[in-house]
Structure 1
């Protein structure tokens, strides 16, 4: 099962440009497919052309076709499958590896792209090393050996490209950690700004309330002063009444009887006595 980080790294890798490290990987893999007879005195093809090194041959194809990185590196999977299919005692000619890689690249280009060069163009890209007949034959032979199964899974690509994907995955992990750190920093700054905003909003409400209270009090000074004056007059009247009381009344006041009530009662008693005396005199 391929992890999400592997898929991301694979996507990044397939969008990168072809490097010499990738071509070197292809050369090594192609050399491992089948052992070939080395004839130092005669390194030519069936067309009589001198046989270039495998590195030079692959570089030439990449330059002519401007192939995508994903398509080029898919040949690693086909080379591995072909290695598993060939007999252990199989042995090829000096040009066999060139044929194997060319046929793998042709099938990868045709299967994984909407449009790809025709076989006549591939023959031209070899600069006369192989004819159109040779190209057609090697394509059919490889299809037969691979049982016409050209599908390539992500698991296969990841397993063959570990050397290239590991640095990309490390960069992705660092970038992810950096994004998480920056996101936390942004959230902290946003929370701080929100707290400061709420803190600044609270005093303004208090000031407006204080101002309203002051204005309300400012509209009622005359009433308050009038009430205070009335209270002052009441206290003065009360003081005068208390001072005019006799010592007996003062004593009774201290006992809890209102002196004004006591005075009124005495006056009524005097008036009643006077009226009784007047009636008594009139009857005599």
Structure 2
């Protein structure tokens, strides 16, 4: 089944109440990508030096987010859940946290993969993400990213419909439409 990149019925959100609402972008996912990138970039101070070969092969974070979202056919709901996880990460990170050049890419990947696993535990969706990023990260790298992220957020992954709605209402720049 192919899920359109700009629309999703959130019936696969097992933790969310039914009947299932629909979450769509008003026009394009670009405002949400920009919001996500800005959030990740503001998390911690990262090195600007590309020290390893795989870091030199990374596109900009915006291009990376767009590429993973489109190629892996992610949904708006996955993006919002990942943003909630990133917000939780921000609350738990020490103020003086520092990262490598590719840390923002790793934060995005960990948040997206965990959101996919939380949302529908679709092995095929997660595998498509692994394949999409295999040029720069191994499965071992990605698993390590997930474990690190989980440790910082204290395994707090539960997101209910109320939290999802509240996040969308608090961030109108995401340009998301929520229909019951």
Instruction: Compute the TM-score of the two structures, normalised by the length of structure 1.
Output: 0.49
Q: What is the DSSP-based 3-state SS (H/G/I as helix, E as strand, rest coil) of the residue aligned with 2:122?
A: coil
- By percentage of residues, which structure has more helix? 1
Which residue does 1:82 correspond to in 2?
89
Q: In the TM superposition, what is the alpha-carbon distance from 1:29 to its structure 2 partner? A: 1.2
Supply the distance in 2 between the matched residues of 1:150 and 1:80 (Cα, whole angstroms). Answer: 11
Q: In the TM superposition, what is the alpha-carbon distance from 1:73 to its structure 2 partner? A: 1.5
Q: In the TM superposition, what is the alpha-carbon distance from 1:34 to its structure 2 partner? A: 1.5
Q: Do the aligned partners of 2:45 and 2:98 also contact (CA within 8 Å) in 1?
A: yes
Cα shift readout 1:11-38 (whole Å, capped 9, x = no counterpart): 34x2448611111111111112212122
Q: Residues 160 and 45 from structure 1, CA distance in 2 versus in 1: closer, same or farther, beyond 3 angstroms?
A: farther
- By percentage of residues, which structure has more strand? 2
Which residue does 1:22 correspond to in 2?
32
1:38 lines up with 2:45 in the alignment: no
Instruction: Compute the TM-score of the two structures, normalised by the length of structure 2.
Output: 0.74
Structure with bigger RCO (C-alpha 8 Å, 6+ apart): 2
Cα shift readout 1:108-128 (whole Å, capped 9, x = no counterpart): 001111424376543321251
Q: Do the aligned partners of 1:45 and 1:95 also contact (CA within 8 Å) in 2?
A: no
Unpaired stretches in structure 1, ≥5 consecutive residues: 1-6, 173-284
Q: In the TM superposition, what is the alpha-carbon distance from 1:51 to its structure 2 partner? A: 2.3
1:55 lines up with 2:76 in the alignment: no
Cα shift readout 1:54-108 (whole Å, capped 9, x = no counterpart): 0000011011110111112111110011011111111101100100010000000
Which residue does 1:96 correspond to in 2?
103
Cα shift readout 1:226-282 (whole Å, capped 9, x = no counterpart): xxxxxxxxxxxxxxxxxxxxxxxxxxxxxxxxxxxxxxxxxxxxxxxxxxxxxxxxx
Supply the distance in 1 between the matched residues of 2:32 and 2:51 (Cα, whole angstroms). Answer: 26
Which residue does 1:199 correspond to in 2?
none
Q: Do the aligned partners of 2:110 and 2:142 also contact (CA within 8 Å) in 1?
A: yes
Supply the distance in 1 between the matched residues of 2:95 and 2:168 (Cα, whole angstroms). Answer: 25
Supply the distance in 2 between the matched residues of 1:165 and 1:94 (Cα, whole angstroms). Answer: 26
Q: Residues 48 and 98 from structure 1, CA distance in 2 versus in 1: closer, same or farther, beyond 3 angstroms?
A: closer
Larger radius of gyration: 1
Cα RMSD for the two superposed structures: 2.9
Unpaired stretches in structure 2, ≥5 consecutive residues: 1-16
Supply the distance in 2 between the matched residues of 1:59 and 1:35 (Cα, whole angstroms). Answer: 23
Supply the distance in 2 between the matched residues of 1:70 and 1:129 (Cα, whole angstroms). Answer: 26
Which residue does 2:133 correspond to in 1?
126
Which residue does 1:111 correspond to in 2?
118
Q: Do the aligned partners of 1:120 and 1:132 also contact (CA within 8 Å) in 2?
A: no
